Amino acid sequence: MCAYVVVAEDDRKQAELVRRYLEHEGHRVTVVHDGRAALESVRREPPDLLVLDVMMPRVDGLDVCRVLRAESALPVLMLTARSTEDDLLLGLDLGADDYVTKPFSPRELMARIRALLRRNAAITATPPEPVLTVGPLTIAPARHEVSMHGRPVDCTPGEFRLLEMLAASPGHVFTRPRILERLHGFDRYVTTRTVDAHVMNLRRKLEDDPRRARFLVTVYGVGYKLVNGATDGESHRAP
């Protein structure tokens, strides 16, 4: 796995050693020797990993880590001659992903770098969350967000569950009892009028004319379905 790594280390011999080991494993490397240059390099071309010395001129490594953590989730491995527990905890509290104390074994350093790169690759390779789209309607279940024509729509939990169910099977007709069962289980104090209330409220939020529904439509004598109103040439008068 080849990666782009920025090494921020004011000791030029130490920096060159780290560069050689990284390049030997096929990585592309940029070396800088102070904290300000580290910030500029990372912002100019975000790397896959920053190897960051703590004691550097202009801006020290702890401040670099603090600034970058406010801007991104870039993996950071800190190098330091400080080895007290407080120093280690401070770096980790500021957002460093790992910490290696000097003097270090190059083999240990490379093993730590490989582990961070693997972890980051696994995170970035996570498939995007599923999004349900029916015409101009978009539903993001994991974020509990709804938008219509790109504009956010506020929904109650019941309205959201109803939309999510209908959008998962666009064009499929769901009966009122079936919707009720999915939304409220077998609560005997909830009636199908609850479903009608959810539908009425959603039409006010989604439809240009709630009395002539084009998206959340009624199938008379059966129930409701969600359709792509942009391509469905027939409007449906709400009951």
DSSP notation for 100-139:
EESS--HHHHHHHHHHHHHHHHHHHTSPPPP-EEETTEEE
Q: pLDDT tens digits for 118-161?
A: 888 876 665 667 899 998 999 998 888 999 999 999 988 888 98
The CATH number of 4-124 is which of 3.20.20.70, 3.40.640.10, 3.40.50.2300, 3.40.50.300? 3.40.50.2300
Domain with CATH 1.10.10.10 in the chain: 132-237
132-237: CATH topology:
Arc Repressor Mutant, subunit A (1.10.10)
Domain with CATH 3.40.50.2300 in the chain: 4-124
Q: pLDDT tens digits for 166-206?
A: 999 999 999 988 888 877 655 444 566 778 888 998 999 99
Q: pLDDT tens digits for 45-55?
A: 999 999 999 98
> In the chain, pLDDT over 70 holds for what percent of residues?
86
User: Is the model's pLDDT at 234 over the cut of 50?
Assistant: no
Q: CB 141: neighbour CB atoms within 10 A?
A: 17
How wide is the angle at C-alpha 49 spanned by C-alphas 45 and 50, nearest 5°?
85
The answer to whether 68 and 39 have CB atoms below 8 angstroms apart is: yes
- Predicted TM-score (pTM) of this structure: 0.55
**Which pLDDT value is given to residue 49?**
95
**Which pLDDT value is given to residue 147?**
94
The answer, yes or no, to whether the previous bond of 57 is cis (omega within 30 of 0) is no
Helix (H) or strand (E) holding 66: helix 61-69
